[in-house]
Structure 1
Amino acid sequence: MPVTDAAADRALLEDAARAAGEIARRYFRARPEIWEKDDGQGPVTEADLEIDAMLRAMLTAARPDYGWLSEESPDDSDRLTRGRVFIVDPIDGTRAFIKGESDFSHALAVVENGAPLAAAIHLPIKDRMYTAAQGQGASRDGTVIAPSGRGDWDGARVLGAKSNFKPERWAQGRPPVAPAFVPSLAYRLALVAEGRFDAMVTLRASWEWDIAAGALIVTEAGGTAQDQRGRPLRFNNPHPQVDGVVAGTRAVQAALVAGLA
C-alpha cells in the first residue's frame, strides 16, 4: 500500500474524532454504564468502549498496514513491527465525562517510527477541533494557532495537578508560576499550543495515548514538548508510557525543565 502523507492522515483523524464526538454526545449526561478497571486504572464507561470499537474499525479499515494502540484495547506487540501506528484515547478525561463536565476530549495520533506525524484532539461538547500534521503547523477549527510567546516563567500560567508544584519536586522550591488545572492531558497540551496557557507539566509516568496527539500540536504550533528530563518524547514504546511531560513556550518550558529537582 502506498504511504500516505501527513495531511491525509490528519484529515482521517479529524473525521474519526468527529465521529467519536457524535457517540460521546449521545451518552453525555445520560448515565452511561460505568466499570472500574483492574489495577486502579480508573473508570471506563460504555461510551469509551463504543468509541474505541468505532475508531478501531474506521481507522484500521482506512489504513490496514498501521498498528494500533488504544487505552481501551488490549495491547498487541504487533504494533512494534509497524512503521506507523495509531495511538488513541477514546475519551481523555473519563472522570470529567462521567461528572457531566465538558473538559473531556478525544485524542488521536499517527506515529511514525516513534515520532508523531498527524494529530487531532476534539472536544465535542465545546465544539473545538485541534489538528496538526508534521511540518505543516497546527490549527484550531481551521485557524492557525501559536503559543503565548511568554519569555519568563515568573508568573507564567502553567497547567498541572497540585502535586506537580510541591516544593520538594523543584531544586529551588516551588516555582514562581500561576498553576491551573483541567482534567484532560490532551486538552492541556492543546491549550498551551493555542497560547491560552504558557505551559503544562505532569511529573508522573504518562500513557502515550494521553500525550502523542497533543505533543505534535504543541510542537507544530511553535512550542516545545519534552519529558521531565528534557529528552525528546518517543512513542510506540514496548511499555507505552513516557517519563512525564513538560510543554510550553520555548523559554518557559526550558525554565521548568531546568528548575526541576
Structure 2
Amino acid sequence: MPVPDSDFTLLKETVRDAGALAMRYFGTDLRKWSKGADNSPVTEADIAVNDLLRARLTGARPGYGWLSEETEDNPVRLARPLTWVVDPIDGTRAFARGDPHFVVSVALVTEGRPTLAVLFNPATDEFFEATAGGGARLNGAPIHVSNCSRIEGCRIAAFAPMFKHPGWERAGIAPWPEMEILERNSVAYRIALVACGAADAALALNAKSDWDLAAADLIVNEARGRMTTHDGEPFIYNRESTRHRSLLVAGSALHDALLAKVGAVRLPR
C-alpha cells in the first residue's frame, strides 16, 4: 500500500517536537517507577512523550493503528492496514541516569514491515530517517553501514558480559576474538549506530519488542545493512505477539560471519 508523503512530513515534525519535550525532562529529578513482570523502568517523561505522539499521530490519522510500549495494547491494530509502532523513549534507563544514549522511535508499519521510520536522539541532535526504497539519512545526509567483514577487531554494540557467558563453551562455540564493544542501553540506538557506520554490528540474545526494532529495522536496511534474529529469521511486525527472541545486525559480509558463529544457538521461542 502506498504511503502518502504527508505521512512522512507529519512523522518527522511530530518526532522532533517529542524530542524537544523529552529534553525538558532530561537531567531533572524525574518521577520513575517499575512496570511489568520484568520490572522495566518507566518515567514521567516516557508517558508525556507517548501522550504527545499519540495525540498528534492518531489525531491526524485516526484510521491508523497504534502500538506503543507505554499504551495498553488494543487488538484493533491487527485489522488496520497502517499502524504506528512507537517507543516514546527507547533507552529509559540511560535517560533517567542523564546519559545521552536514548531515542524517540517511531515507524509506520504496512503489512508487517516498516515503510517510514524516524529515530531521534535530541540530546546529541542525531535525527535518523528512512523511507522504504528511499534510502536512510542522518541529519539529512545519506548513510550506509560499514564494509567490515571480520568479527575480530569489529565494533559491536552489545551487552559486554554476554561474550563471557559459559554457555558459549557448553554449546561448543569458540571464544570470541578481541572486539571493541559499545554498550548502549537503547536497542534502537545501537542499530542506528550500525546504520551510520559508527558500529559494525549489533547482537542481542534476549527478547525484544516491535517498538524496540521496527523503526531501526527500516533505517539499517535502507543503509544497506541486514537485520534478522540471531539465526537468520526476518522480522514481521504488528502481529498478535509483539516479541522477538534475538537480534543480529551488520553489513552483509559481517552478518554472514556472525550468523555462522551464533546461528546454531538455541533460544526459547
- Is the TM value for this pair above 0.5? yes
Moved more, 181-190 or 250-259: 250-259
CA distance in 2, matches of 1:65, 1:201: 35
Deviation at 1:244, TM superposition (A): 1.1
Instruction: For structure 1, list consecutive stretches of 5 or more residues without a partner in the other structure.
Output: none
Match of 1:24 in 2: 22
Change beyond 3 A, Cα 1:234–1:163: farther
The letter of the residue matching 1:79 is R
Aligned mate of 1:142, from 112, 130, 140: 140
8 Å CA contact 2:11, 2:118 repeated in 1:
yes
Match of 1:206 in 2: 208
Match of 1:221 in 2: 223
8 Å CA contact 2:149, 2:257 repeated in 1:
no
Deviation at 1:171, TM superposition (A): 4.8
Match of 1:104 in 2: 102
CA distance in 2, matches of 1:100, 1:88: 22
Counterpart secondary structure, 1:39: coil
Deviation at 1:40, TM superposition (A): 2.4
Deviation at 1:163, TM superposition (A): 4.0
8 Å CA contact 1:234, 1:242 repeated in 2:
no
RMSD of aligned alpha carbons: 1.6
CA distance in 2, matches of 1:3, 1:253: 30
1:77 and 2:75 aligned? yes
1:57-88, Cα deviation, whole Å (9 max, x unpaired): 10012221110000000001111111111000
CA distance in 1, matches of 2:181, 2:222: 24
CA distance in 1, matches of 2:254, 2:166: 18
Change beyond 3 A, Cα 1:84–1:181: same
Instruction: For structure 2, list consecutive stretches of 5 or more residues without a partner in the other structure.
Output: none
Aligned mate of 1:125, from 123, 126, 138: 123
CA distance in 2, matches of 1:167, 1:213: 33
1:121-161, Cα deviation, whole Å (9 max, x unpaired): 00011111000000000000000001111122222111111
Deviation at 1:222, TM superposition (A): 0.4
Query: What number of residue pairs does the alignment pair up?
Result: 259
Match of 2:35 in 1: 37
Moved more, 191-200 or 23-32: 23-32
Deviation at 1:41, TM superposition (A): 3.4
Provide the TM-score with structure 2 as the length reference.
0.92
CA distance in 2, matches of 1:118, 1:202: 24
The letter of the residue matching 2:223 is A
The letter of the residue matching 2:174 is G
CA distance in 1, matches of 2:221, 2:49: 27
Deviation at 1:3, TM superposition (A): 5.4
8 Å CA contact 2:156, 2:181 repeated in 1:
yes
Moved more, 10-19 or 91-100: 10-19
Deviation at 1:29, TM superposition (A): 1.3
1:161-207, Cα deviation, whole Å (9 max, x unpaired): 12432352465233323322111111101100000110001111101
Q: Percent identity?
A: 38
Match of 1:59 in 2: 57
